[in-house]
Structure 1
Amino acid sequence: MNSANDAASAFEILTQKSPVNNNNAALSKRHVAGDVQILDSQLDDSDRSQETEPPKNLWQRVKKAARFERHNEYDEPPKNLGEKIVRFLEVHQHKRASANRSENIVESFLFNDDLAPVEAERRVWDWKQYVFFWISGSFNVNTWQISATGMQLGLNWWQTWICIWIGYIFVAFFVVINSRIGNFYHIAFPISSRIAYGIYFSLWIVLNRVVMGCVWYSVQTYIGSQTVQLMLMSIFGTDLKERIPNTMNTQNITTFGFMCFMIFWGAQLPALWFPPQTLRYLFTLKSIITPFAAFGFLIWTLKKADGHLALGSLTTSHPTGSVLGWNFIISIMSALDNFSTLILNAPDFSRFARTPRSSIYSQMIILPLMYAIISIIGILVTSAAFTMYGVNYWSPLDVLARFLDHQTAGNRGGVFMIALCFGIAQLGTNIASNSISVGTDMTAILPKFINIRRGGYICAAISLAICPWNLMASSSKFTTALSAYAVFLSSISGVVCADYYVVRKGLIKLQHCYTNRPNSLYMYGTRFGTNWKAVISYVLGIVPNFPGFLGALDVKVPKNAMHIYYLNYFVGFLISFTLYSGICYFFPVPGMPEGVGYFDFSRWFEKWTEVEDFVEERRKFEVDGDDDGEGDLGSTDELSSTVMENIKNTEKV
Structure 2
Amino acid sequence: MNSANDAASAFEILTHRSPLSNSEMMSKRNGVSTENRKIDDSQLDISDDSEKKPQTHKTLGQRLKAAVGSGRLENQYDEPAKNWREKIVRFLEVHQTKRASANRAENIVESFLFNDDLAPVEAGRRVWDWKQYVFFWISGSFNVNTWQISATGMQLGLNWWQTWVCIWIGYICVAFFVVVNSRIGNFYHIAFPISSRIAYGIYFSLWIVLNRVVMGCVWYSVQTYIGSQTISLMLMSIFGTDLEERIPNTMNTQNITTYGFMCFMLFWAAQLPALWFPPQTLRHLFTVKSIITPFAAFGFLIWTLKKSHGRLALGSLTTIHPTGSVLGWNFVISIMSALDNFSTLILNAPDFSRFAKTRHSSIYSQMIILPLMYAIISIIGILVTSAAYTMYGVNYWSPLDVLGRFLDHQTAGNRGGVFMIALCFGIAQLGTNIASNSISVGTDMTAILPKFINIRRGGYICAAISLAICPWNLLASSSKFTTALSAYAVFLSSISGVVCADYYVVRKGLIKLQHCYTNKPSSLYMYGTRFGTNWRAVLSYVLGIVPNFLGFLGSLDVHVPQNAMRVYYLNYFVGFLVSFTLYSGICYVFPVPGMPEGVGYFDFSRWFERWTEVEDFVEQRKKFEADVFEEEDEYTDEFSSTVEENIEANPKV
Q: TM-score range by the shorter chain?
A: 0.7 to 0.9
- The correspondence for 1:133, drawn from 108, 114, 136, is 136
Relative to structure 1, the CA distance from residue 108 to residue 422 in structure 2 (aligned partners, 3 Å threshold; closer, same or farther) is: same
Relative to structure 1, the CA distance from residue 319 to residue 511 in structure 2 (aligned partners, 3 Å threshold; closer, same or farther) is: same
* Aligned partners of 1:38 and 1:96 also within 8 Å: no
* Aligned partners of 1:625 and 1:632 also within 8 Å: no
- The correspondence for 2:391, drawn from 381, 388, 391, is 388
Q: How much does 1:320 deviate? A: 1.1
* CA distance, structure 1, for counterparts of residue 473 and residue 391 of structure 2: 28
Q: How much does 1:475 deviate? A: 6.0
For residues 470-489 of structure 1, the aligned pairs below 5 Å read 470-473=473-476, 476-489=479-492
* CA distance, structure 1, for counterparts of residue 287 and residue 353 of structure 2: 21
- The correspondence for 1:462, drawn from 454, 461, 465, is 465
- 2:349 aligns to what? 346
Alignment pair present for 1:499 and 2:522: no
| Comparing 353-362 and 207-216, the one that deviates more | 353-362
Matched to 1:253, the amino acid is I
- The correspondence for 1:273, drawn from 270, 273, 276, is 276
Q: How much does 1:107 deviate? A: 0.5
Q: How much does 1:467 deviate? A: 2.8
* CA distance, structure 2, for counterparts of residue 200 and residue 479 of structure 1: 32
* Aligned partners of 2:339 and 2:572 also within 8 Å: yes
* Aligned partners of 1:21 and 1:42 also within 8 Å: no
Relative to structure 1, the CA distance from residue 64 to residue 314 in structure 2 (aligned partners, 3 Å threshold; closer, same or farther) is: farther
- The correspondence for 1:377, drawn from 360, 377, 380, is 380
SS at match of 1:434: helix
Matched to 1:591, the amino acid is G
For residues 21-32 of structure 1, the aligned pairs below 5 Å read 21=9, 26=14, 29-31=17-19, 32=22
Q: How much does 1:144 deviate? A: 1.1
- 2:304 aligns to what? 301
* Aligned partners of 2:189 and 2:353 also within 8 Å: yes
Alignment pair present for 1:185 and 2:188: yes
- 1:580 aligns to what? 583
- The correspondence for 1:111, drawn from 99, 111, 114, is 114
* CA distance, structure 1, for counterparts of residue 601 and residue 236 of structure 2: 64
- 2:436 aligns to what? 433
Q: How much does 1:36 deviate? A: 5.0
Aligned positions, number: 604
Structure 2: stretches of 5+ with no match in the other structure: 27-42, 68-73, 638-653
* Aligned partners of 2:101 and 2:622 also within 8 Å: no
Relative to structure 1, the CA distance from residue 372 to residue 470 in structure 2 (aligned partners, 3 Å threshold; closer, same or farther) is: farther
- 1:611 aligns to what? 614
For residues 15-164 of structure 1, the aligned pairs below 5 Å read 20-21=8-9, 26=14, 29-31=17-19, 32-33=22-23, 72-73=74-75, 75-97=78-100, 101=104, 103-164=106-167
* CA distance, structure 2, for counterparts of residue 464 and residue 159 of structure 1: 39
Relative to structure 1, the CA distance from residue 634 to residue 298 in structure 2 (aligned partners, 3 Å threshold; closer, same or farther) is: closer
For residues 188-267 of structure 1, the aligned pairs below 5 Å read 188-248=191-251, 250-267=253-270
Q: How much does 1:632 deviate? A: 4.9
- 1:411 aligns to what? 414
Q: CA offsets per residue over residues 513-547 of structure 1, 9 Å max, x none?
A: 00000000100000000011101111111122111
Matched to 1:457, the amino acid is Y
- 1:590 aligns to what? 593
- 1:292 aligns to what? 295
Q: CA offsets per residue over residues 121-180 of structure 1, 9 Å max, x none?
A: 333433233222212221212111111111111111101100000000000000011111
Matched to 1:523, the amino acid is M
* CA distance, structure 2, for counterparts of residue 401 and residue 43 of structure 1: 65
- 2:625 aligns to what? 622
Q: How much does 1:26 deviate? A: 4.0
Alignment pair present for 1:529 and 2:539: no
Relative to structure 1, the CA distance from residue 46 to residue 77 in structure 2 (aligned partners, 3 Å threshold; closer, same or farther) is: closer
* CA distance, structure 1, for counterparts of residue 636 and residue 278 of structure 2: 42
* CA distance, structure 2, for counterparts of residue 438 and residue 350 of structure 1: 16
Matched to 1:121, the amino acid is G
Alignment pair present for 1:563 and 2:566: yes
Relative to structure 1, the CA distance from residue 278 to residue 582 in structure 2 (aligned partners, 3 Å threshold; closer, same or farther) is: closer
Matched to 1:204, the amino acid is W
* CA distance, structure 1, for counterparts of residue 287 and residue 6 of structure 2: 22
Alignment pair present for 1:511 and 2:499: no
Q: How much does 1:553 deviate? A: 1.0
* CA distance, structure 2, for counterparts of residue 453 and residue 496 of structure 1: 27
Q: How much does 1:280 deviate? A: 6.0
* CA distance, structure 2, for counterparts of residue 421 and residue 264 of structure 1: 13
* Aligned partners of 1:220 and 1:430 also within 8 Å: yes
Structure 1: stretches of 5+ with no match in the other structure: 1-15, 52-62, 636-653
Matched to 2:374, the amino acid is Y
Matched to 1:110, the amino acid is L
Relative to structure 1, the CA distance from residue 192 to residue 37 in structure 2 (aligned partners, 3 Å threshold; closer, same or farther) is: farther
* CA distance, structure 1, for counterparts of residue 199 and residue 5 of structure 2: 27
| Comparing 18-27 and 305-314, the one that deviates more | 18-27
Relative to structure 1, the CA distance from residue 328 to residue 250 in structure 2 (aligned partners, 3 Å threshold; closer, same or farther) is: farther
Q: How much does 1:17 deviate? A: 8.7
- 1:176 aligns to what? 179
SS at match of 1:610: coil
* Aligned partners of 2:304 and 2:388 also within 8 Å: yes
Q: TM-score, normalised by structure 1?
A: 0.86
Q: How much does 1:197 deviate? A: 0.2
Q: How much does 1:387 deviate? A: 0.5
Matched to 2:396, the amino acid is Y
Matched to 1:463, the amino acid is S
- 1:644 aligns to what? none
| Comparing 357-366 and 506-515, the one that deviates more | 357-366
- 1:10 aligns to what? none
* Aligned partners of 2:594 and 2:635 also within 8 Å: no
Relative to structure 1, the CA distance from residue 494 to residue 19 in structure 2 (aligned partners, 3 Å threshold; closer, same or farther) is: farther
SS at match of 2:468: coil
* Aligned partners of 1:471 and 1:481 also within 8 Å: no
Matched to 2:545, the amino acid is I
Matched to 1:301, the amino acid is T
Relative to structure 1, the CA distance from residue 432 to residue 37 in structure 2 (aligned partners, 3 Å threshold; closer, same or farther) is: farther
Q: CA offsets per residue over residues 362-412 of structure 1, 9 Å max, x none?
A: 211111001101111111110100000000000000000000111112111
- 1:8 aligns to what? none
- 2:554 aligns to what? 551
Q: How much does 1:478 deviate? A: 4.9
Q: How much does 1:261 deviate? A: 1.3
* Aligned partners of 1:131 and 1:362 also within 8 Å: yes
Relative to structure 1, the CA distance from residue 273 to residue 125 in structure 2 (aligned partners, 3 Å threshold; closer, same or farther) is: closer
- 2:333 aligns to what? 330
Relative to structure 1, the CA distance from residue 391 to residue 199 in structure 2 (aligned partners, 3 Å threshold; closer, same or farther) is: same
Matched to 1:575, the amino acid is V
Q: TM-score, normalised by structure 2?
A: 0.86
* Aligned partners of 1:149 and 1:334 also within 8 Å: yes
Q: How much does 1:601 deviate? A: 1.3
* CA distance, structure 1, for counterparts of residue 536 and residue 246 of structure 2: 60
Relative to structure 1, the CA distance from residue 245 to residue 75 in structure 2 (aligned partners, 3 Å threshold; closer, same or farther) is: closer
* CA distance, structure 1, for counterparts of residue 636 and residue 428 of structure 2: 54
Q: How much does 1:241 deviate? A: 2.7
* Aligned partners of 1:505 and 1:604 also within 8 Å: yes
- 1:4 aligns to what? none
* CA distance, structure 1, for counterparts of residue 135 and residue 5 of structure 2: 21
Task: Report % sequence identity.
Answer: 85
* CA distance, structure 2, for counterparts of residue 554 and residue 541 of structure 1: 22
